[in-house]
Amino acid sequence: MTKLSVNLNVAALLRNRRGHKWPDIVGLGRIALQVGAQGLTVHPRPDERHTKPSDVQDLRVMLDNEFPDRELNVEGFPTSEFLALAHDVRADQVTLVPDDPTQATSDHGWDFAMQHPFLSNVIIDLKLKGHRVALFSDPIADEMKAAAGTGTDRIELYTGPYGSAYDDAATQALEMKRLADAADAAADLGLGVNAGHDLTVDGTAQLVTCIPFIDEVSIGHALFCDALTYGMAETVRRYIDSCSAGGPYPQEAVLCL
């Protein structure tokens, strides 16, 4: 079954708008884990517009004390400061993304061939320190060989175009094929496969139905939107159900080309 890692950045962004202590990032993470999420994801950007280093450290303490069997996934561009934080909090997984600091959100994968020397050196260091490494990737099957050549453990497929096509079945099916082809190519090379970005409950269910060997999905924005309607605990349960191929979602599955 595909694991769910709840991305807490949206909650932190809401908190930071007013400078109060609510919503409680650690408290929301705790609720997600209590109802079965397998991990928590944070993306501590340099401008600290959502999760901050102190949030990441507090989450590590909570995980160690209450959920030692769950995972902390820390994602970001591999600056020296980011890498030091990821190591300090003993991130179970470090997801490297090619973000410019001014980007609103991650919206493209690495150029594995061009960035090979840089990524390889970072990955060697991270793996020597005991971290599992994932690289944010566009769903392009032909690029998976170059991704594997960096020494990464996993790739995280960028599902933004697929998620954005929620109201266009033909486009969504084409995007699903791109994701499936890339996932197959990665798996054939021995890479683990994660996925994330703009995944709804139905979209997640369709994804894992077509690509049942996805290791993990990282979901934040749509999950917190749903939490406004269903509450945090029930929303996380719905997403966990959606991560099980053959579960109660979706009503109409995308054609797996």
Residue positions annotated with a catalytic role: 43, 75, 197
Type of residue at 253: A
Q: DSSP letter for 51, please.
A: S
How many helices (DSSP H) and strands (DSSP E) are in the chain?
Answer: 11, 8
Type of residue at 251: Q
Q: What angle do CA 141, 161, 92 make, to 5 degrees?
A: 70
Helix (H, G, I), strand (E, B) or coil at 130: coil
209 contacts 10 by C-beta, under 8 angstroms: no
Phi, psi of 18 (to 5 degrees): -115, -10
Neighbours of 103 (CB within 10 A): 13
Q: Rounded distance, CA 236 to CA 233, Å?
A: 5
Phi, psi of 255 (to 5 degrees): -65, 125
